[in-house]
Structure 1
Amino acid sequence: MFDTKVALVVRNDLPTWQKLNVTAFLATGIAAAAPEAIGKPYMDASGTRYGSMLVQPIVVFGADVEELRHARQKAIERSMLVIPYVEAMFRTGNDEANRQAFLVEAVDSMNLVGIGIRGPKNGVDKVLKGFELHA
């Protein structure tokens, strides 16, 4: 049905509010980076107009930090769109502070709490092979 796949991978050991926060931010990152994946606005039977959403499903997986690091690396090696979120970003108050928190993360030990991936369907499936859907 779709040539591409959108997947979010969120760390299993986070409190629920953080899981939801990360999921929301990652989804907006995918939408911002892939405007061609945004559908038309919705309208209800009374003519009230609503906002648009991605035209394809988003699959959400759970993982630990090592699995997140591995998936991030594999997705980058395959030139996929990767949206990262690191734990230090929970302690910031704005976008610039988020960028600074991310900038100091060492690539090999990045304290990832989530990643968003968009790419060819079969490629995303290969990157996330063995991952389980988030419970």
Structure 2
Amino acid sequence: MSSPAAPPAQRVVLVVREDLPVGQAVNAGTVLGASVGSLLELPLGAGGADASGTSYGGIVTTPVPVLAAGEKELTRLFRAANIDERLVALSLTETARRARTYEVYLASLADTDEADLDIAALIVAGPRNRVTRATKHLPLFGADSA
């Protein structure tokens, strides 16, 4: 009897618009990180304690690199990921960022043609090889400011 094949290794990448201010980038990453964690049920590691006995809750065990891209590249990547059934693409558009409530966001989105032309940040998740192929050309977010 053979054992079932292991699922392909998953990769999650956050891509932030290169000109997004740091505070907005952090917010976008937080919103999209919580969304993809919930959607994909990403695994939490066990909690731990430091040498002094202070407890620390478990964190997601999936590394999430933060990359940068321009507006056109974010739109291209979002559209390409939406076509590939093996990938998950979650975006935070300017329509979403400006909305004060989720209901306002949904109403504004319904009235916005091609909201994907104005993406602030994007998460792409799926099989490691597919995500890597789609994002390997992108630099780390903030790498040029080091």
The normalised TM-score by structure 2 is 0.79
- The alpha-carbon distance between structure 1 residues 44 and 113, as it changes in their structure 2 partners (threshold 3 A), is same
Residue by residue, what CA displacement relative to the aligned partner does 1:4-45 show, whole Å, maximum 9, x if unpaired? 11001110112221111111111111101111x221451425
Residue 118 of structure 2 corresponds to: 111
Q: After superposition, where does 1:82-121 map in structure 2 within 5 Å?
A: 82-107=89-114, 110-121=117-128
Aligned-partner Cα distance in 2 for 1:126–1:40: 27
Aligned-partner Cα distance in 1 for 2:16–2:25: 6
Aligned-partner Cα distance in 2 for 1:120–1:109: 23
- The alpha-carbon distance between structure 1 residues 14 and 108, as it changes in their structure 2 partners (threshold 3 A), is closer
Residue 16 of structure 1 corresponds to: 22
CA drift at 1:132: 1.1
Aligned residues of 2:93 and 2:115 also touching (Cα < 8 A): no
Aligned-partner Cα distance in 2 for 1:28–1:17: 17
- The alpha-carbon distance between structure 1 residues 38 and 18, as it changes in their structure 2 partners (threshold 3 A), is same
- The alpha-carbon distance between structure 1 residues 129 and 103, as it changes in their structure 2 partners (threshold 3 A), is farther
- The alpha-carbon distance between structure 1 residues 112 and 98, as it changes in their structure 2 partners (threshold 3 A), is same
Report the number of matched residues: 132
Q: After superposition, where does 1:32-111 map in structure 2 within 5 Å?
A: 32-35=38-41, 37-44=42-49, 46=53, 48=55, 50=57, 52-79=58-85, 80-107=87-114, 110-111=117-118
Q: Which AA in structure 1 matches 2:68?
A: G
Q: Which AA in structure 2 matches 1:81?
A: V
Whether 2:9 is the aligned partner of 1:3: answer yes
CA drift at 1:49: 6.2
Higher CA-based Rg: 2
Q: Which runs of 5+ in 2 are unaligned?
A: 1-7
Residue by residue, what CA displacement relative to the aligned partner does 1:48-92 show, whole Å, maximum 9, x if unpaired? 463x43221001110111000011111112121111111122222
